[in-house]
Every structure is written in structure tokens, then in C-alpha cells.
Amino acid sequence: MNPPIVILGSGLAGISVARELRKLDKEVPLIMITADDGGFYSKPSLSNALAAGKTAPQLVLTARETLAAQLNVDIRAGSRVVRLLPGQHAIEMDSGRVEYSRLVLALGAQPIRLPIEGSGAADILAVNSLADYAAFRERLVDVKRVAILGGGLIGCEFANDLRLAGIAVDVFDLAPQALGRLLPTGAAEFFRARLEAAGVAFHFNTSIARVDRSEGGVILKDSQGKDFSADLVLSAVGLKPETELARAAGLKTNRGIVADKLLATSEPDVFAVGDCAEVQGLVLPFVLPIMQQARALAKTLAGTPAPVSYPAMPVVVKTPASPTVVCPPPAGAAGAWREEADPTGVRAMFEDAAGNPLGFALVGDSVKDKQALATQMPAWL
């Protein structure tokens, strides 16, 4: 009998591959190895679960046992992989060796940690998993003021969520605006005003250099020497694809684990999906690309090689104070933003020299145009 297909990781990427594969092949032996608990939860919910009153256990949509039975997959929870042995079609775990016919790396990404000095630096939280969220909820008891490092998508979602829960929020970012990688200036200005009206205090063009413990909380010092106080510090400055295992085993890595359109890495029978993967040069740590990858890879694993394709995939920013949807232009596309603003929102189109739309950003009421616009955008891959 052939060795099983082995999936490393039980996040959205790993579980979606298993789910899609089972639609095509109910029998092929499947093992999923995860350092986590192995239950399925919605990671995008971590940054809007507080105001919804959801605890960590309540976020689990499918328990491990149920998932294992539904998908006919052997889930090895709480297991760490020590190294990949692609030459032997095997992996080494802390508990022994497992052989594979095909290996799927769905290892995710780790929060980037800024170099911050001070006695409180070690207490800075990042929320990137259900276990992190549980720790965050425990630490939030009696917290009145939270400092968030990073005014990108995750930082702003947490800021809005914390405000809805009645907690004061300061957001710090090096950029001159919120959602710096996503929004042009007019849309960003609308977004800032709406979140400020909801009580979020933004501090742009600055960064936090020190965090020191003080009585009952922490004191943050920014790069200009200004002091801020908080009870808790949340870091949301971005994610770094988890490439260590792959790199150590000699797989080609760049920003992520390098994969082609078949999600194949530089080693035979080893594939990469989700936040750890750099597919045709693109690292896209969002839900929709993962679903596209999982569908394509499942076909390949079931015996019909299928390259992944990406339609234009709008990103929804879950900030109820300012509904926001962004469909970024393809990486490196030449063009310029054209923005139309009114008191209810901003509609920004990214257009090439001939006026063809390549991307869009919608804030406020204009988010209703998302579907209609998305279909006009060129495919990404």
C-alpha cells in the first residue's frame, strides 16, 4: 500500500486541502500533523470576535474528532515536525518518523516581532492563532486601554473591535496613514475619520522604541521620545511566512516557500499552500487565495494536475466603523488612483494610462459596488 498523503498544518489552508481532496477521493490515506489542537476555527474571526462576545472555545466551528470523522483523516494534534526528509519521502517528528507519498506544507505564517527595548517588551501580545486569542482574552480582564503596534488590516480590525467592547485604543504606525498598503490617500482619510469618530486614537509617522512595566500597566516610548500609557500592548505589524523547515531541508525559499502554479515546491511530491507559500512570486495571506489553491491542489493530488488560477480577489476589512473593501492592483502594475469622495464614502479606482481599471478601494457606503466591480478586474494569475 502507498504511504499516505501528509498535510502539515491544520489552519484554513491545511483543512481546505483535506476537505477539497475528500470531494474527489474518499479513500486515499490522509494524515494531518499539527502543533495546534486540530479543531477548525475561522482565523479571520480572531480580530472581530471580542465585540461579538465569542470566547476561544466558541470560535471552534468543527471539533477535531468531528473533523477527523467527516474527512476521514488521521489528525495528529499537538505534534511538532523536527525536519523534512524530502530525499526519503519522509518527515521526522518529535514522536517518530512518518513516510508520505505526497507532502503538503500548510505551515502558515508567524507574527513579525519588532525589536523593542524595555522591561515590558516580553509582555507584548500578537494574536495569530486560537491559543493566542485565548491568552489575549485572559489578559484583557480589567484592561481599560490597549496600545496597538501597526495600523494595517489586522491592527485596525482589532482597534475597531476593542472600541466596540468599550476599551480605549491607541494605534501606532510608521506610515502617514492607516491601511498604508491597501488604501490611497483619500480613502485612507475617510477611514481615519470614521475610526477616530468611533474613538480610535491614531499616531502616524512614529514607532514604539521602548515598553516598560509600570504600576498596573506599561509605559510606551515612541521614536520621538513621547510617552504613552497602556494596560496591554498588541503587536500587529505583519506576518512572516513560516519557511524554516523548508529552508533547512533544502527547499527553495524566498519570502515564502517557493511554489509554481501547481503549488509544487522545488522538491518532488512536496507542495506548499496558504500563508507559507510564495506562488509564482505572490504571497497572499488572505482567505480567497487559499480557497483557490486548495481546490487546485486537491485536483492535482487526486491525479489530475491543475494549475491554480486567481481571479481578482477583493479583501474585506472588518471595521464596522468604516466598511472597507480593497481589490489591490496586480503587483507592479503601472497606473494611478482616481478617487471620488462624498460624505458617505470614497470610491477609488486604480487605472492604467488608457483608463482601464486594475484595482479598486471602497470605503463607507460605496462598498455596495464590490461585486459589480470585482468582475471587471483583470485576473491576477
Partner 1 sequence: MKQYQCIVCGYIYDESLGEPEHGIAPGTRWEDVPVDWCCPDCGVAKADFEMIAIESTP
Can you give the binding site for partner 1, defined by CB under 8 A? 12, 19, 42, 44-45, 59, 61, 287-288, 291, 313-316, 318, 368, 371, 375
Whichever of 62 and 280 has its CB closer to partner 1, that residue is 62
Residue 144, all three cell numbers: 481599560
- CA separation for the pair 306, 308 (Å, rounded): 6
Q: Are 51 and 43 in contact (CB under 8 A)?
A: no
Whichever of 80 and 368 has its CB closer to partner 1, that residue is 368
- CA separation for the pair 309, 299 (Å, rounded): 13
What is the residue whose three cell numbers read 463607507?
Answer: 364
User: How far apart are CB 374 and partner 1 at their closest, in Å?
Assistant: 9
Whichever of 45 and 110 has its CB closer to partner 1, that residue is 45
User: How far apart are CB 338 and partner 1 at their closest, in Å?
Assistant: 24
DSSP tag of 3 = P
User: How far apart are CB 290 and partner 1 at their closest, in Å?
Assistant: 9
- Look at the alpha carbons of 266, 272, 278, 281 in this order and tell me if their dihedral is positive or negative: positive
Whichever of 42 and 266 has its CB closer to partner 1, that residue is 42
Whichever of 240 and 318 has its CB closer to partner 1, that residue is 318
User: What are the angstrom distances between the C-alpha of 240 and each of 9, 68, 128?
Assistant: 16, 29, 11
- CA separation for the pair 46, 180 (Å, rounded): 21
263: Cα separation from own chain's centroid: 19
Whichever of 154 and 220 has its CB closer to partner 1, that residue is 154
- CA separation for the pair 260, 361 (Å, rounded): 29
User: How far apart are CB 381 and partner 1 at their closest, in Å?
Assistant: 17
- CA separation for the pair 203, 72 (Å, rounded): 50
User: How far apart are CB 59 and partner 1 at their closest, in Å?
Assistant: 8
DSSP tag of 328 = P
User: How far apart are CB 181 and partner 1 at their closest, in Å?
Assistant: 18
Q: Any residues with CB less than 8 A from the CB of 372 and at least 6 apart, and which?
A: none
- CA separation for the pair 82, 99 (Å, rounded): 14
User: How far apart are CB 42 and partner 1 at their closest, in Å?
Assistant: 4
Whichever of 45 and 266 has its CB closer to partner 1, that residue is 45
